[in-house]
Amino acid sequence: METSGLEIKREWWKLDKPSGEEEFVKDIAAMANAQTGDSFIVVGLGENGDLVNSPIPGDEADVQSKHKDKIEPRIRMMIDEFKVEGKVISVITIPHSNERPHVIKQYKDWHNWIPIRFGSSTLTASRSDLDEMYQERYREHESDMNVRLYEQKLRWGEYSVYGGYCFMVRLMIDNYNGGAPDYIVNAVLHSKTSKWKSKHFMFEGLVLGQEMRVGPHERKQAVQLYLGEYAPDEAKNKDEAPDLSKGKVYLSMYARSGKRSDIEIESGWVERKG
């Protein structure tokens, strides 16, 4: 059964004729614009499931050249041959494109046409189709940063890296699915019951208050974050830990993108550095 991401053809297009080449370009562009994942065109399968010998007609590079200068932006596709019951069938794979819409410069009497595959039909892309394509493009250039605890511990103690007494927590910072970098610009540890909150933060390897960059597709593990009520010089003699044993405690992380992460920390996770 044909779908938006699967087309079945009995034989190859007549690529030596202008009309056949036009249909080939139309089908490739429509599949690339489809709202699916990877798309496939299987060549060599009849309506009744009978196999038809359908190897690549000539050199693959010549076949690939038939669409390259006719569609903008260009489409990436792969062609493979498989031998089944003594017959050769061809499978064209069109990876999901993040550069949609793909525009055919000229198809018959139409200029700058945007076809899209919908079910087993090829239609002209609608306004909502174009909105979806551009929204996906935009999402590809957004960050997707998430912050969570690397371990369920919040330690109080004297840390030479910070320059005095403070809390330390280890984090997992994930922007693996993001298409753009993001920056953690502030971090605050606070108790809703006692109203206590930290006023200073420092990531290991950075200076006090310096924002941390998390690149696109990057994942940071066991990142040490120091949080204190006092600045390093003042914190040297402040060895008495704030009482966070009652009520809920949260670690709030603020990103340059505007995203905020609130991580709940249970009282049983708070301990003194050994």
pLDDT at residue 36, as a whole number = 83
Q: Which CATH superfamily is domain 146-272 in?
A: PCu(A)C copper chaperone (2.60.40.1890)
Domains 6-139 and 146-272 share a fold: no
Task: Specify the pLDDT at position 139.
Answer: 63
Beta bridge partners of 104: 71, 113
- Residue count of the chain, please give it: 274
pLDDT value for 140:
63
Cα–Cα nearest to 51, from 82, 79, 88: 88
DSSP type of residue 244: -
Contact 174, 219 (CB under 8 A): yes
> What secondary structure letter does DSSP report for 135?
H
Domain range annotation of the chain: 6-139, 146-272
What is the C-alpha separation between 57 and 9, in angstroms, rounded? 14
Q: Can you name the CATH fold of 6-139?
A: 3.30.950
- Does residue 10 come out as left (phi exceeding 0), alpha (psi in the -120 to 50 range) or beta? alpha
- Note the pLDDT of residue 39: 93
Please give the Cα distance from 199 to 270 (Å, whole number): 18
Rounded distance, CA 53 to CA 157, Å?
Answer: 74
Q: How far apart are CA 152 and CA 61, in angstroms?
A: 56
Average pLDDT across each block of 10 residues of the chain; the chain has 274 residues. List them in order.
Answer: 90 96 97 91 92 95 94 95 96 91 96 95 94 78 88 94 95 88 94 88 94 91 95 86 85 93 91 83
